[in-house]
Amino acid sequence: MFERIVVGFDQSEQARDALALGRRLADRTGAELVAALVLPYPVGGSLVPALPADAWTAMVADARAALDRVAEEFDAETELSDSSTPTHGLQEITERIGGDLLVLGSHRSDPGRVRAGRKARQLMSGSGFAVALAPAGYADGPAGLDRIGVAVDGSPESDRALEIGVALLDGGQLRLIAVAGELAEGWGHWGSAYALSELRDISRKMASDSLERAAARLPEGTAFETEQREGPAAAEIQRASAEGLDLLCLGSRGYGPVRRVLLGSVSSEVIRNASCPVLIGPRGADE
């Protein structure tokens, strides 16, 4: 599934969370783990002064020393590069070395939660590789990968997320989650009302069909459970992430270039407040 997993490393505590998740995913898939550190360009511009030569030399030496420590602790290869922005640098490194998954950390202001920052959201806007986010404090916990959740809706994008979840499962249990929209009994004003019960029934049927379709795609012998929830999709998936999941797999939105990660409204909301690591796969190239 994954052959080369890149972890964005900036010498912060959240980077250690990302390294811990990257190491677990690499162990599960047999992938190579690469810690990537991006430094700012040493040359100046119209608004940014150039770094003095001795300051740049010291910065590079400090970065290499930090990467050497990471390489030993997490059994990782390392990449050091300079770029105009950390986001551009990480994308360039991942694409140049053929990385198929980039792992990032979350701000540690909210322990146990995934909080996608600006860098993560930018990297999820058209990247040709999967992106995973580790919750704040992940490196300090005993979390494994024994219970993997997959949000399914019958789309090719959720099928891709299901493939990833199955590939990462190793003797654990898969949890398939589908959400039916929560609708009121009726809608209207000025004395006119429109029954929504039929739409509600259709939404429930679609969620049920999605679960059945996903279960039918699982390899024989896969341990799994299904759960149909009702309500706002992002909120329900966030709640599910807090119910014992070690990883949540989501698909990209259903349009845009193939083999690219693109955030839809649900995934955008989930990565703001999930309670377990979240992995979003790129769109497949299926017809």
Write the pLDDT tens digit of every residue in 86-140.
Answer: 889 999 999 999 999 999 999 777 788 888 777 777 777 777 889 999 999 999 8
Domain boundary among 76, 110, 140: 140
* In a shared domain, residues 252 and 272: yes
- Token pair recorded at residue 269: 């909301």
Beta bridge partners of 148: 174, 247
- For residues 238 and 267, what is the distance between their CA atoms, to the nearest angstrom? 10
Q: Are residues 122 and 231 both part of a single domain?
A: no
Does 13 share its domain with 99?
yes
Is 46 in the same domain as 152? no
Q: Do 70 and 158 sit in the same domain of this protein?
A: no
Q: What is the CATH number of the domain that holds 58?
A: 3.40.50.620
Pairing of strands 147-151, 173-180: parallel
Same domain, 166 and 236: yes
**Percent of the chain residues past pLDDT 70, beyond the cut:** 85
Who's near 266: CB < 8 A, 6+ residues apart?
A: 151, 233, 234, 237, 250
Structural domain tally of the chain?
2
How far apart (Å, rounded) are the C-alpha atoms in residues 59 and 51?
Answer: 10
pLDDT in tens, 29-56: 999 999 999 998 776 555 556 667 788 8
Kindly give the residue spans of alpha helices, DSSP state H, lying in 75-176. Answer: 86-96, 118-123, 156-168
112 and 169 in a single domain? The answer is no
Return all residues near 162 (Cβ < 8 A) that are at least 6 apart.
Answer: 150, 152, 176, 214, 217, 218, 249
Cα angle for residues 55, 61, 66 (degrees, 5° grid): 125
Of 140, 167, 194, the residue at which a domain comes to its end is 140
Task: For residues 98 and 195, state if they share a domain.
Answer: no
Q: Is 118 exposed, middle or buried (0-12, 13-18, 19+ CB in 10 A)?
A: exposed
Could you report the per-residue pLDDT of 168-193, keeping only the tens digit for each?
998 899 999 999 976 655 455 444 44
Cβ–Cβ under 8 Å, residues 36 and 6: yes
The rounded mean pLDDT for the chain is 85
Band of the pLDDT at 267, cuts 50, 70, 90? confident
* Phi, psi for 109 (deg, rounded to 5): -70, -15
Whether residues 153 and 126 fall in one domain: no
- Judge whether 153 lies within some domain: yes
Both 125 and 152 in one domain: the answer is no
Q: Is residue 285 part of a domain?
A: no
Domain-terminating residue out of 140, 157, 185:
140
pLDDT digits (tens, 9 = 90+) for 221-231: 999 999 999 99
Tell me the C-alpha distance between 234 and 155, whole Å: 16
Judgement on whether residues 161 and 102 belong to the same structural domain of the protein: no
pLDDT exceeds 90 at position 198: no
* pLDDT score, position 255: 45
Q: Is there a single domain that holds both residue 76 and residue 120? A: yes
Note whether 124 and 249 are within 8 A (CB).
Answer: no
The pTM is what?
0.87
- Domain of residue 187, residue span: 147-280
Residue 151: inside a domain:
yes
